[in-house]
Amino acid sequence: MSLPDAALAALPRTRSWIGGREVEGRAGLAPATDPATGEPFAAVERLDAEQAGAAFDAARAAFPAWSATPVRARARALDALRAALLAEAEQLARLVSREQGKPVAEAWAAEILPSLDALAHLAEHAEAALQDEPVQAHSLLQAHKQARIVRVPCGVVLAITPWNFPLALPLPIVATALAAGNTVVLKPAPAGVLTGLRIGALARRAGLPDGVVNVLATDDAVAAALAADPRPDKIVFVGSTATGRKVMTAAAANLTPVVLELGGKDPAIVCRDADLDRAAQGIAWGAFVNAGQTCASVERVFVEQAVAEPFLAQLVERTRALRVGDPGRAGTDLGPLTLARQRTIVVEQVEEALRRGARCLTGGAAPDGPGHFFPPTVLAGVDPAMRVMREETFGPVLPVMSVPSPYGLTASGWTRSEAIAARLQRELQAGVVTINDCVASFAEPAAPWGGIKASGIGSTHGRLGLLEMTQPKFVSLDRGRGAELWWYPYDRELEEILATTAPALHARTLRERLAAQLRLLARRRVRERVGLRRLLGQLEKLF
């Protein structure tokens, strides 16, 4: 909605956070719009490209001290961040509801509680996950060295996050980066920017050092420039597959490593022995939670023909009972879609499916009136060529049919059989597979989160997500004196030692290996450099 400059200037303003302070934006004001009414309720001061780039410099300046902070102290900082979030949880839940459109109860369940849990989990487990990993030498000639793998932070992490979960997506990513010793530049989506900017305020309230967390309000053109900037050391992007490809292309110019958590066309598989009541109830929630605007939403159902009719009957009954309306009102199950353009995509996919012969069992048309509402919709009689079966819908539409897909974010199976459950867990091609449940694994902070195929690269949660925010460094300590066996000068004796080492370690029979090992031990040069005690400690390699 376009507002006169005077009306926009009269709205409450919000600013970016760079270097621990709020920064006045030079690129004009942008409205924050309530998707339930279409009315602006706040104004955001946008940064220009130069201002946004300055956040990298602030993060770089803060990095040496923060990365040198012991992990235990960083964990205490995350606990302080959790306390700050808890103190503002009620206001944040209502802000999320008003800015993004999900019901307040869902804001608590899907945004506040998962964020608190993620902070608690990191604070408790980061130190153990980041401990050095001893490495025992496989090479007998290096058995005298002490080696380990240490985890070091990447540096400055750029996080670009979407609008559908404006708190629960960016905050755990920021916290994971901080736990690993990185500093962060966060660029939230414009449609969730008010909530995203609150993360900067929370970091300030928690006492995090200046520059450790920077949060930017910019337009999408500036966001593209951030991804192409050579200053970040890692980029974490959460969003559509199409935009993820652009981010990866931009990052490739600087060889900046990326983690991509992208879209999904996630299936649910209902087997003939499934508890149909539980399956219908769970799949209805998995399809329509957050008005279907979830990368892990159930967007297709594979149902066995033997139970298709009773399953559809229960699914439609559950769907029709859902209450659509003002997300700030208690009792609302579904709010509006966040963006008008997203509703347009939903409408186009449904209309195309109906033109090609699909049957709408409930819902199916956008209502008149204000806001970006669309009713929860169940389609049957679909075919694989329809857009609703091939493309991510990201809205409250559920087609029921089995088709192949290039996506692989999550999948769910519904069955009473342990054998079938085991087969589904083993054979489904997805980053997350749940049995008799769906979507909820995102709220488990110990579970890794990430996709395969067109759904992304890498992980953003759990121990694997924490390790993504580090670089492995192999370190080796040699306390010996004198030259290594393989150093200059090369002479006849060295040739003979190395030639004997090969059969000593790799001959097919024990007799051949023992004979060569005895010849090695007869060499004074070997005994002095490698050490008889260490050789005896490596007997498993010898035999």
Is residue 530 pLDDT above 80, yes or no? no
DSSP 126-184: HHHHTS-EEE--SSGGGTT-EEEEEEEE-SEEEEEE-SSSTTTTHHHHHHHHHHTT-EE
Is residue 542 pLDDT above 80, yes or no? no
Confidence of residue 483 (pLDDT cuts 50, 70, 90): confident
Q: Give the pairing of strands 13-14 and 16-18.
A: unpaired
* Residue at token pair 């980053």: 431
Is residue 26 pLDDT above 80, yes or no? yes
Is residue 128 pLDDT above 60, yes or no? yes
Q: Which residues pair with 268 in a beta bridge?
A: 301, 412
Half-sphere exposure of 275 (CA within 13 A, CB side): 9
Adjacency order of strands within the sheet including 470-477: 133-135, 146-153, 470-477
Report pLDDT for 207: 98
- In angstroms, the Cα distances linking 469 to 12, 157, 175 are 36, 8, 10
Is residue 535 pLDDT above 70, yes or no? no
Confidence of residue 479 (pLDDT cuts 50, 70, 90): confident
Which residues carry out catalysis?
261, 295
Q: Which amino acid belongs to residue 241?
A: T
Q: Which amino acid belongs to residue 50?
A: E
- In angstroms, the Cα distances linking 140 to 136, 513, 526 are 10, 13, 11
Question: What Rg value do the Cα atoms of the chain yield, rounded?
Answer: 28
Confidence of residue 403 (pLDDT cuts 50, 70, 90): very low
Report pLDDT for 453: 85
Confidence of residue 407 (pLDDT cuts 50, 70, 90): low
Is residue 477 pLDDT above 60, yes or no? yes
Q: Which two tokens stand for residue 150?
A: 């240490």
Q: Which amino acid belongs to residue 64?
A: P
Report pLDDT for 377: 98
Contact present, 175 and 202 (Cβ < 8 Å): no
Residue 325: count of CB within 10 angstroms of its CB: 16
Residues 6+ apart with CB under 8 A from 212: 59, 62, 66, 178, 183, 184, 203
Is residue 485 pLDDT above 90, yes or no? no
Strand (E) positions, 263-355? 266-270, 298-303
pLDDT digits (tens, 9 = 90+) for 43-96: 999 999 999 999 999 999 999 999 999 999 999 999 999 999 999 999 999 999
**Can you say whether the dihedral through the CA atoms of 215, 46, 48, 460 is positive or negative?**
positive
Q: Give the pairing of strands 146-153 and 133-135.
A: antiparallel
Report pLDDT for 404: 47
**Which CATH number is 5-262+466-472 given?**
3.40.605.10
Report pLDDT for 536: 59
pLDDT digits (tens, 9 = 90+) for 27-52: 999 999 999 999 999 999 999 999 99
For the chain, how far is it from start to end, CA to CA, in angstroms?
76
DSSP 48-116: -HHHHHHHHHHHHHHHHHHHHS-HHHHHHHHHHHHHHHHHTHHHHHHHHHHHH---HHHHIIIIIHHHH
Burial of 330 (0-12, 13-18, 19+ CB in 10 A): exposed
Percent of the chain topping pLDDT 90: 73
Average pLDDT over residues 9-23: 96
Is residue 255 pLDDT above 50, yes or no? yes
3-state DSSP percent of the chain in helix, strand and coil, to 5: 45, 20, 35
**Domain 266-445 of CATH type 3.30.70.1350:** no
* Local structure of 361: helix, strand or coil: strand
Report pLDDT for 13: 96
pLDDT digits (tens, 9 = 90+) for 263-304: 889 999 998 899 999 999 999 999 999 999 999 999 999 898
The residue with greater pLDDT, 526 or 412, is 412
pLDDT digits (tens, 9 = 90+) for 154-170: 999 999 999 999 999 99
pLDDT digits (tens, 9 = 90+) for 189-240: 999 999 999 999 999 999 999 999 999 999 988 989 999 999 999 999 999 9
What distance in Å separates the CA atoms of residue 408 and residue 263, rounded to the nearest whole number?
9
For the chain, give the longest Cα–Cα distance. Answer: 92
Confidence of residue 540 (pLDDT cuts 50, 70, 90): low
Report pLDDT for 363: 98
What distance in Å separates the CA atoms of residue 475 and residue 281, rounded to the nearest whole number?
53
pLDDT digits (tens, 9 = 90+) for 385-395: 999 999 999 99
Report pLDDT for 319: 98
Is residue 405 pLDDT above 70, yes or no? no
- In degrees and rounded to multiples of 5, residue 251 shows phi and psi of -65, -30
